[in-house]
Homo-oligomer: A and B are copies of this chain.
């Protein structure tokens, strides 16, 4: 099966990183194409960033449909534009955050999301509510770092990720930790071992859910929420 993985920000470095990481865990018969849009923000940390990332990503979603892919994976923990993407797609579109939260629900009592920026905490709670699994959420906690910092200061990131996961386990009763940012991915194993909880890497989980959906031949229902948009007049900048 052929899966298009879209990193919705414009960082080529991060896109390469995602390609590298997912290639190692894909099923043998999966063919991956990992891309990012030409225009838009270099990282996605605000609703403003999401707005711009979404419109650029939607063109890639259409392209994947035209080129006969079997599924699309949106590789950003904000799941930007997921509803719009499903409207314009005939093939399944998987958001890594949504897929990972559902998986987390089956692995322990409650999960904690770890986000980089403190300011994003409220929007993460909103995200969990939209996914519909609020009753399985232990907490959202942040590193209190920008995304850029998580890349430039790996030692601090590692230290903070561990501290925050520990607080989630001890104070919030978390049994599963979701590292909601690519910058933390490398530290999962150590946190898992030291704290005795399950730590999930959203891109990996998202890919396996995409493979599962594609192999079952599933598609989104087109009756209402994800119905194909009607044709209409669009005034476009060239």
Answer whether residue A129 sits at the interface, using C-beta atoms and an 8 A cutoff.
Answer: yes
Against B, the Cβ 8 Å flags (1 = close, 0 = not) of A45-71 are: 111111110110010000000000000
Chain A residues within 8 Å of chain B by Cβ, number: 91
Answer whether residue A222 sits at the interface, using C-beta atoms and an 8 A cutoff.
Answer: yes
Query: Which residues of chain A from 105 to 161 have any CB-CB distance to chain B below 8 Å in the complex?
Result: 105-110, 118-123, 126, 129-136, 146, 148
- B residues in contact with A46, CB < 8 Å: 84, 87, 227, 229-230
Answer whether residue A219 sits at the interface, using C-beta atoms and an 8 A cutoff.
Answer: yes
Q: Contact partner of A220 among B38, B84, B108, CB < 8 A?
A: B108
As for how many copies of this chain the complex holds, the number is: 6
Q: Which residues of chain A have a CB within 8 Å of any CB of chain B?
A: 10, 25, 27-29, 38-43, 45-52, 54-55, 58, 81, 83-84, 87-88, 92, 94, 98-99, 102-103, 105-110, 118-123, 126, 129-136, 146, 148, 169, 173, 175-176, 196-198, 200, 204-205, 208-209, 211-213, 215-216, 218-227, 229-230, 232-237
